[in-house]
Amino acid sequence: MDKIQHRALTVSLIVIAVFAVLFLRLIYLQVFEYKELGSISAANSLRRIWIQPPRGRMIDRNGSIVVDNQPLYTVKVIPSEFTDSLKKSTLASLLHITDEKLTERINKGFKYNRFAPVAVGRDIEPKEMMRLSENLWKLPGVMIDVENKRQYPLDLHASHLFGYLNFISKDQLEEMSEKGYTPDDKTGSKGLEKTYEDLLRGEKGARFELVNSIGRFAGKFENGTRDRPFVNGTDLHLTLDAGLQQLAEELLKKTEKSGAVVAIDPNDGGILAMTSQPDYDLNILNGTTDGKKWTEIVQDPAKPLFNRAIQASYPPGSVYKLLLAIAALEENVITPEKKIFCTGVFRLGRGRFRCHGGQGHGPVNLERSIVESCNTYYYSLIFDLGFEQWTRYGRMFGFGKTTGIDLSGERSSPLPSTEYYDKRYGKGKWTKGYLVSLAIGQGELNTTPLQLAAFTATIANKGTWHQPHVVKGYQSYDSDTFVPLDFKKNKLPISEKTFERVRQAMFGVVERGTGRLAGVENVKVAGKTGTAQNPHGKDHAWFVAFAPLEKPTIAVAVLVENAGYGGSISAPIAGKLINYYVNGPDTTATDTLSVSTAVTDSSKTEPATE
């Protein structure tokens, strides 16, 4: 027992001695060396500052920079170092915001890291930035960063193509924080900015600074040897022709109607121009969003944020007769010479379907049916071909699904089929009468302007369907190596002879038929008009075309909503675009009719319906 007590006493004395030594050491440090240690602590506070890299630029097919960067001045606050209410009032005054708004922005940083800088003011004007710089000495914890915002050409919108940046959302941050994103970062929200975010964003750099106890800069950490430089974003090289894009926007705006234009290279599927009207000015969303103007865009009944080129579906009208003609030729249902007599009315049971207001065309062969857009010819032809084959060829050309273009938000409509009708109406509850409308591109059939542009490009190149795309490749700032991107292509099991028959008929449409106003001097243009019935108002006007006929370099689809007839307003737009691209910009103003003239002069030549 004595031994146990002795051991316990020994252990207790040892513990007491240890604590006594620690206590005396603490008193010594607090009382005798607090000044020296305090200065060491102040001098060795470490601050990490992220350095945003410039985003990659976008460069058109001719080498013109269409999306660049420019300086953006941002005021940041370190929440843990900026708690004094007087300093908050001073900063709020300099930023022209309320104390409450400033507090709200600062508190945002506490949710993630109160020692990390949080942005409280973006896109500061240079004059305001200078005033703020003069007062930084009395605002510890406040800093000014130079970041980047986008710079766009003055005469080009391309808003649906380029897209814009937006602050990263809470949900996005949870998913993307491992990639180095922080709460104040922006990320691509629409268009190419979103699709190619990983390439465009680059890599952040980091600067480490020593600061004293009141947040003042006290020198570089280890002479800057631990700093990490940023890596610039990667440049995107586009298939876009900026001049053609600008012209497409101008021509469509002149109609004062909503619509879309898609121009595509039939040799590889590259988008040469794509516009949806109305569009919007990307500068409204650049840097600091103009709240009032953004509200106007969102509430605009014309829906300028809606990309009609890839998101809106319309009946293709008579343009889709081309597909029926290709299928019937390839399946040997008809020969080019076979004639169908058009009396102006097609009868199916008790149903009567008129051809252009009941005016008959007489004996019509394949070429004339396309040149004059005879409905009766196709009313009869779809029954000779069969519904299943009509659907099969539609799928072959990519209808009924999206094209896979490198833009977000693309939509498509179902392609009618036996299964589709059975599911929608029930087996045995739909009749052959439904096929009459499908024969002329009406009924439940809907397509996007992009789909029809890709379809036209496939006819132009005699049978190779290319996946539409806007970016052809990318190149890093610090490298001369260009990396091309691969996109799908599909050689269709259709003979070139079949395509040549249809191509020649499309040439006749522009030379002497319903699409004469798309004509371009010294260029053989092939096209097809279409009128899409609209139950809510005036019909929509379609025109598709490609040129030159011998070796096509451009295919175009033009859709103008509530404009009536395709040859009246859409064909002249296509003609101007083709003239610009084939002959050069210097000929555009004189070699083709203006849109307004075309509407007036063509009203006598276009049939009442197509």
Distances from the Cα of 209 to the Cα of 39, 147, 219, 597, angstroms: 16, 18, 6, 67
pLDDT confidence of 214, banded at 50, 70, 90? Answer: low
Q: Assess contact for 475 and 481: CB atoms under 8 A.
A: yes
More confident site: 589 or 570? 570
- pLDDT above 50: residue 603: no
Tell me the mean pLDDT in the region 504-525: 95
Q: Which stretch of 118-132, 239-253, 367-381, 425-439 has the lowest confidence by average pLDDT?
A: 118-132
Tell me the mean pLDDT in the region 539-567: 93
- Per-residue pLDDT, 508: 97
pLDDT confidence of 176, banded at 50, 70, 90? Answer: confident
Q: Which stretch of 310-319, 353-362, 540-549, 599-608 has the lowest confidence by average pLDDT?
A: 599-608
More confident site: 356 or 412? 412
Please tell me the distance from the alpha carbon of residue 455 to that of residue 464, in angstroms, as a whole number: 10
- Per-residue pLDDT, 610: 54
Q: Assess contact for 405 and 469: CB atoms under 8 A.
A: yes
- Per-residue pLDDT, 2: 63
- Per-residue pLDDT, 422: 93
More confident site: 336 or 91? 336
Distances from the Cα of 545 to the Cα of 127, 348, 450, 542, 552, angstroms: 53, 33, 13, 10, 10
- Per-residue pLDDT, 599: 33
- Per-residue pLDDT, 361: 86
pLDDT confidence of 213, banded at 50, 70, 90? Answer: low
Q: Assess contact for 204 and 117: CB atoms under 8 A.
A: no
- Per-residue pLDDT, 272: 98
- pLDDT above 90: residue 248: yes
- Residue 515 carries which side chain, given as an amino acid letter? G
pLDDT confidence of 324, banded at 50, 70, 90? Answer: very high
- Per-residue pLDDT, 223: 74
Angle at 246 between CA 243 and CA 247, to 5 degrees: 90
Distances from the Cα of 465 to the Cα of 200, 310, 460, 461, 487, angstroms: 29, 17, 10, 9, 11
More confident site: 194 or 285? 194
Question: Among residues of the chain, what percentage have pLDDT more than 70?
Answer: 87
- pLDDT above 60: residue 36: no
Mean pLDDT of the chain: 85
| Token pair for 1 | 């027992």
Q: Assess contact for 152 and 107: CB atoms under 8 A.
A: no
Pairing outcome for strands 186-188 and 142-151: unpaired
Helix (H, G, I), strand (E, B) or coil at 276: strand
Return the closest-CA partner of residue 59 out of 200, 194, 249, 264: 200
- Per-residue pLDDT, 425: 92
Angle at 563 between CA 561 and CA 565, to 5 degrees: 115
Q: Assess contact for 357 and 415: CB atoms under 8 A.
A: no
Tell me the mean pLDDT in the region 129-148: 77
More confident site: 44 or 550? 550
Angle at 510 between CA 506 and CA 512, to 5 degrees: 105
Please tell me the distance from the alpha carbon of residue 199 to that of residue 197, in angstroms, as a whole number: 5
pLDDT confidence of 539, banded at 50, 70, 90? Answer: confident
Q: Assess contact for 540 and 561: CB atoms under 8 A.
A: yes
- Does the predicted TM-score (pTM) go above 0.75? yes
Q: Which stretch of 90-94, 420-424, 498-502 has the lowest confidence by average pLDDT?
A: 90-94
- pLDDT above 90: residue 591: no
Distances from the Cα of 125 to the Cα of 71, 379, 507, angstroms: 11, 65, 56
- Per-residue pLDDT, 29: 57
Tell me the mean pLDDT in the region 204-215: 72
Inter-axis angle of helices 126-134 and 85-95, nearest 10: 150
Angle at 95 between CA 92 and CA 97, to 5 degrees: 60
DSSP state of 271: E
pLDDT confidence of 460, banded at 50, 70, 90? Answer: very high
